Amino acid sequence: MIDQAHIAALTGILGDKGVVTEPRDMAAYQTGARYDEGRAALVLRPETTEEVSAAVGYCVTHGIPLIPQSGNTGLVSGSTPDASGTQAVLSLDRMTQRFDLDLDNRSLRVGAGFRLSDVNQKLERHGLFFPIDLGADPRLGGMLATNTGGSRFLKYGDVRRNTLGIKVVLADGEGTILDHTSELRKNNTGIDWKQLFIGTVGSFGIITECVLNLEPLPKQMATAYLVPASGAHVMPLLRAMEDRLGAYLSAFEGMSKNAVAAALDHVPSLKNPFQGGNVPDYVILAELSRTWDPRAGEQPLDAVLETVLADIWESEDPPLADAFVGPAHEMWALRHALSEGVKHAGKLIAFDLSFRRGDIMAFCDRMKDEMPQTFAEVTICDFGHIGDGGVHFNLVVPRDSAAASDKDFERRLRDWVFAIAVQDFNGSFSAEHAIGRKNQAYYDLYTHQKIKDMAHGLKVITSPGDLGTVSFG
């Protein structure tokens, strides 16, 4: 689907390792994490920003559409080609040449192709980490392009909050390079241009390097499973924890009974900590952390957590029904197994929603009431970041049901869920995964026309070439 002259020219720019055309070698770049699969004309694998610039300039000049791809772990078809066979995937997987650590500034200038796990492994010896905790293992470029949040957003914030600077290549005929890799934390000399490219899925430009804020690794941790007295008690419980613990509270993760059961069923090695093996209707994983070594005379974090829980238990109308304090690695193992567990429970239709914190449980309760009457074959397996208002609203359909392969069924289901989330609860249809083909229609539906016009104008100014899977205007 692409002229051999273009392949030869791009090979001249990127070298033999930088261009992939064999179908079996392209397969991993064409298949996403959630059933999406397309067909690429070829895959480009540049190694430097200059190579990205040259390749992008060539493709724009010759009308070759580009799909930027980082770790390809997204869930909304934002990084995979369509079925036309005309698009070139531009992968960041070789962009790992730069890793410049500044201990005094507590920052890292790094290539966008590094995986999160590789970065944190290198930083561990220095007692630092990039504080975005995710179940997947994405590459940094994609994390910035989608503005990921993660399980410790409550304490550290999202990628946007932890990015100091970026280098980006624009999709124009020159492959213009914008270098905004400032390592300053305070710089109010004009527009903060990096924010234009964070969270916009690569449509305005391809991020090739970034400067990240780093945080000290926690040296003390305490975790507990909390069982709220009811759904209505989840927010009072969170407020009580925040009032008593302040900055010690680093995570407050909600897990529904169905999601936990799916994880336990999928991963037999996981320990079931609940009495008699009976999983409660809703469980919260709470984490406390400190960044210093234990000090003489200082109350250990486990003791702090137990004291606080006892205090909450003894309050008037206690929001807590039960609690289990346990080892952090065991408790987080269950939380991190939820995604794969739910995925293997049936055909998964995943939603990434956010609300005002106080509306999360009200939304989930409404879904539990209305789903059986509206979509009887669907099982709700929700979990999420209660502390920041995010919920992974996962819906599972039996694989042997007609609905599992019915695209119209999925469309009607998405229409219904998003309408309630956005219109009735003033929520967001995309909390952490940004925009992709799967939710383009909902961006078009729920975004004000003036905002779409402004976004289109920015696209024309920054990257007039055919770049990305999303139309912002």
Report the pLDDT averaged over residues 372-392.
96
Residue 467 pLDDT > 90: yes
Q: Bridge partners of 288?
A: 222, 249
CA distance 308 to 244: 7
Residue 310 pLDDT > 90: yes
Domain residue extents for the chain? 4-91, 99-216, 220-339, 346-432
Each residue of 247-260: pLDDT tens digit?
A: 999 999 999 999 99
Residue 304: other Cβ atoms inside 10 A: 18
pLDDT confidence tier of residue 33, bands split at 50, 70 and 90 = confident
Report the pLDDT averaged over residues 370-393.
96
pLDDT confidence tier of residue 77, bands split at 50, 70 and 90 = confident
Backbone angles phi, psi at 282, to 5 degrees: -150, 135
pLDDT confidence tier of residue 135, bands split at 50, 70 and 90 = confident
Class of domain 220-339: alpha beta
**Domain 346-432 in the same topology as domain 99-216:** no
CATH entry, 346-432, from 3.30.70.2740, 3.40.50.2000, 3.40.50.300, 3.60.130.10 = 3.30.70.2740
Residues 6+ apart with CB under 8 A from 462: 170, 171, 196, 204, 205
pLDDT confidence tier of residue 50, bands split at 50, 70 and 90 = very high
Regarding beta strands 66-69 and 87-91, do their DSSP bridges make them parallel or antiparallel, or are they unpaired? parallel
Q: Six-digit token pair at 159?
A: 């990628």
Report the pLDDT averaged over residues 28-44.
90
Determine the topology of domain 99-216 in CATH: 3.30.465
Q: Six-digit token pair at 287?
A: 């984490």
- Residue found under tokens 């895959």: 43
Please indicate, yes or no, whether the overall pTM of this predicted structure exceeds 0.85: yes
- Tell the burial category of 27 from Cβ atoms under 10 Å away from its Cβ (0-12, 13-18, 19+): exposed
Each residue of 169-211: pLDDT tens digit?
A: 999 999 999 999 999 999 999 999 999 999 999 999 999 999 9
Domain 4-91 in CATH 3.40.190.180? The answer is no
CA distance 95 to 100: 14
What is the radius of gyration, based on Cα positions, of the chain?
Answer: 23
Identity at 20, one-letter amino acid code: V
The DSSP 8-state label assigned to residue 300 in this structure reads P
Each residue of 215-238: pLDDT tens digit?
A: 999 999 999 999 999 999 999 999
Size (the chain), residues? 473
Distances (CA, A) of 250 to 161, 239, 292, 302, 422: 16, 14, 15, 14, 28
Backbone angles phi, psi at 159, to 5 degrees: -60, -40
Q: Bridge partners of 347?
A: 397
